[in-house]
Structures are given as structure tokens and as C-alpha cells.
Amino acid sequence: MTEILRYTAFSVDPDGGNRAGVVLDASGLDDAAMLAIAAEVGYSETAFVLPGAEPRTFTARYFSPLVEVPFCGHATIATAVALGERIGAGPLVFDTPAGRIELTTGAGTASLTSVPTSSQPASPDLVDRALRALRWDASDLAWPVHVARGGAGHLVVGVGSRERLAKLDYDFDALADVLRSAGLITAHLFHQRAEDVFDVREPFPVGGVVEDAATGAAAAAFGGYLRELGLVTAPRALVLHQGVDMGRPSELLVDVRPDDPRVVVTGAAVPL
């Protein structure tokens, strides 16, 4: 019988963070079985792991209740912490559909180094359609809208008002269609609270989830977005607060450098 672990990531409080399913032994499971387990678990993602050819190296795949995604940050953090509890803290490597992810684990925490990130301005048509689906107006925008990638694709939209972010009420089906048409997974909606502190919300209708409480893949892509805008002239340590408006506060620590397209995302995880 397949053992399914349940963790919450990017929080030390079981009532906070983003919940993930973790299957540390996915041997014998085909795609249909993994999708069925993810749907039964009901979290935004469940990670499925197989041992690799080298010690502390693993193959990881990620399924939402509706689709497989190429990479999922919060499930990666949860899985790394679960493995660290069983085989000891230290370095890990995950081979994922998005590429190789290097990790380090400590006591209840993990850091992932993303694949190289990229970010480009979104087309005017994509921006218009996304704003209509979000029920926002162009006047709400305070930042350039980009398509950013850090293992998966995200539409990055920054607003000038924390109140606008708090009052998110979007058209689920319309936004899913917009994101799907552009090959994207989530919309990364943010407001800058202070120089290196951001409030974030993350609709995930493509995966059948209204909102993610913490999204490590999007956090990595966001670091690449800031670099592309020329806002990373020296190493920056960012703090992203996510899940607050849905009652599941999460904290994602993001380290981004001007000389490295990869981004390091760090967080805690606890079993449920």
C-alpha cells in the first residue's frame, strides 16, 4: 500500500503554510495512479519520489488534482524536509521534469536552488485578458506585467495597493483559460510592502485550486523577474508573505544575485 505523508511548507505552524502530499516511494505507480492519489489528497500538489542512481539523489514528479506540473516549490521543500528526517540533513538532488534541483536540508527547513530563471514582458493582449479575468483595471498596475519562469511559468502582476490585493475576486474559469493559453501555471500577484518585503497571492485555477498559500516555484520566478527589471544590482534577500488573506500565513525567503540566473528559495516544513 502506498504511504502518503502530509506536510505544510513555508510555515512552522500546521495551521499555516501550503499543504503538500508526499509519496517517498512511488515505485509501481503510473501517471494515472499518481493523478488519482493527488486528486484524493486534494492539496494543490503532491510530490512523488523515486531513488536516483547516486546517494541522496531522487527523481521527483508533481501532480495537482487536475494535471501534472513540471515543478512545485512547496512540495519540494516538504519532500526535502521529510527525506532529511529519514536519511539525515545535508545536500539532496531532485531530478524533475523542469530540470535538476539542488537542495540543502536542516532541522525542519530546506533550501532549493532553482533552474535558471527567465522573465519577459507579457503581450498587451495577454495583459488585457488577464486583467479582465482578475476584474482589475490597468490603473491598478504599479509594475510591468511579465511572463516569468523558474521551473514553471507564471504571470507576474504587481499592484500599487495592498487593498486591491486583499480584495481579490477573480473569474476562475476565465483566468484558467488565460493562463492555459499562454502555457502558464499560476498568476503571481504582488504588492511591495517595503524594499525587500512583498505581499503575494497566487491563483492556481489551472490546477483546480482557487489559491495557493505558498508557491516556491513562483517565488523563484519572481526573483528572476526583479533581476530582469534591473533591480538586483547586488545580492538581495527577499521575504515574501503569502497565504495571509486566506488565513494560512506563509513565509518564503528568496535569495537572488545579479550574477546567477538561479534563485534560492528557503522555507520550513512540518508534518500534519
The cell for 128 is 488585457
The pLDDT of 234-256, averaged and rounded, is 98
What Rg do the C-alpha atoms of the chain give, in angstroms? 17
The pLDDT of 212-222, averaged and rounded, is 96
Look at domain 118-259 and name its CATH class: alpha beta
- Global pTM reads 0.95
- The per-residue DSSP string of 16-85 comes to SSEEEEEES--TT--HHHHHHHHHHH-SSEEEEEEE-SSTTEEEEEEE-SS-EES--HHHHHHHHHHHHH
- Percent of the chain exceeding pLDDT 70 equals 100
The pLDDT of 226-232, averaged and rounded, is 98
The pLDDT of 115-140, averaged and rounded, is 98
Q: For position 1, what pLDDT does the model report?
A: 81
Q: Within the chain, which residue ranges are assigned CATH 3.10.310.10?
A: 5-113, 118-259
Placement of cell 511572463 in the chain: 147
Specify the fold of 5-113.
Answer: Diaminopimelate Epimerase; Chain A, domain 1 (3.10.310)
3-state secondary structure 238-264: EEEEECHHHCCCEEEEEEEECCEEEEE
What is the rounded CA–CA span in Å between residue 238 and residue 147? 20
- The residue that leads in pLDDT, 177 or 53, is 177
> Quick check: 164 pLDDT over 90?
yes
Q: For position 50, what pLDDT does the model report?
A: 96
> Quick check: 166 pLDDT over 90?
yes
Q: What is the pLDDT of residues 128-154, one digit of tens each?
A: 999 999 999 999 999 999 999 999 999
Q: What is the mean pLDDT of the chain?
A: 97
What is the rounded CA–CA span in Å between residue 3 and residue 109? 22
Q: For position 119, what pLDDT does the model report?
A: 98
Residues in the chain: 272
Q: What is the pLDDT of residues 63-83, one digit of tens each?
A: 999 999 999 999 999 999 999
